[in-house]
Structure 1
């Protein structure tokens, strides 16, 4: 069933494209502006059935909602782009545009971004948000029809999208399709929840990467896995799976770790911890992911859009080699 609402997505990465497919499957028209982007991005947008517009201004004028899903380092610049587009738009809107910042930023950064929208507050509503979990996935054939009839999107495997700020989504159907949870009127609550959740999962992965690669360097990788399987089988199973998924994502996670450190330091009070900056641990975790992205062969393959099968030991070997200056 077609829906009149148009949703803009910026940008069309793995998550953005998957969210677009979820929305298209539920009758929404999805639009974006990827002028000047690579052929790879163009193909990804086409595969997700996203309609391409030529300018940010066209996106602002045609969309009812814009979902900003970009690397954390680009969140503020992206917001400024669309504030500028809204400021120069000559279109009179019957209803305000909702701008959902779904990026992995700290509560403090979310408030800075929200302030950018004050000059266009009459026409654009800012919503603080985050994405917890992996990209949406369509149901397998013949599965989920009963769930789909009871709640929009329930047959899909979807991440959770917490939202906060003074402007709850007015479109209940869209809110359900996207699997949103409204946390209240405070800008920063949704971003903070995302930081707290991501810190636990991505912190554990970083510790596992350091442990596995060091065990590889010492020649005891197999023994470590045997010990984990015996004493902590659930941790062994989850960590060996998760580390294999990291190389394609590591570059995007570097700035996210900095944002988590800011969240814990500024909002959690860890900047006041006795002995110094208690949130500085995430600066070090950021370096783990930077090393994977920039210094290992697996990270370089990702930059060239090449993918190959790998195991947790493959990742450990690649990281150990990079740290010891081996090709």
Structure 2
């Protein structure tokens, strides 16, 4: 199930014994290569003195692109990790890939310090519930919570549910299956149609929004989706030998058929978040299927962009003037010579 997948588990002094070891054992049984990544090479003892281990790698030896998934266990380690700038930079870089990130128990503290939880739905250890709320997250009390690529759990007793959800996210098992039945150009054509529909939805919704900040937010997203459309269109023409794609917009799929002067900002945001989640799943699945490195990079970029849009939509103040999120994306993909298809 996870053959050829690489997972990093970020650990530090006083890591939670079971939360660091049981996910590794579970993922290895599924075929993944799993590394404990430490702040340094020091031998570490778990919070309850049940486990002693030495990190396989250190934070200055790895890059986000080295791994297909990242897990941050709880215990006392997150308090040490969250004040280490190199560790935070690694977590932020990984978050930007759109690949699965898991946080168990106190692990969410690292994401708080990295500034990544605003607008995200998460669970965590009950003792830091108020901390994640103050960071702008939507807290839920359940054994495992999946919000796009982010998977979280509350405590060691939740590990069976966490391990299952995280492994399925890495493998892409929870995603919709429409990409699997499409050839590369058909998949790209569907992506182009989705971007066109999203652009039209945001533009028409912006026109009927009464609140200026929501109107600005939607206008901004419309421009971003236009950029995606233009770039994907150009790529299709190059890969097809000059043919242009057939752009078919499904109003039902995008939600634009529900846009009217009576549409409330709350309902508009709900529809938009729903569409962004669907777009994320589509691009994430395409990234998992892509074999060409540039194609994989392109689809991961789009997947992470869509999940960032979803996050921003849940935070009114994030784009009050049409501003951007917490990181800036590249604006163009180079199509390398010899790239004849996406898969």
Whether these two folds match at TM > 0.5 is no
What TM-score, normalized to structure 1?
0.31
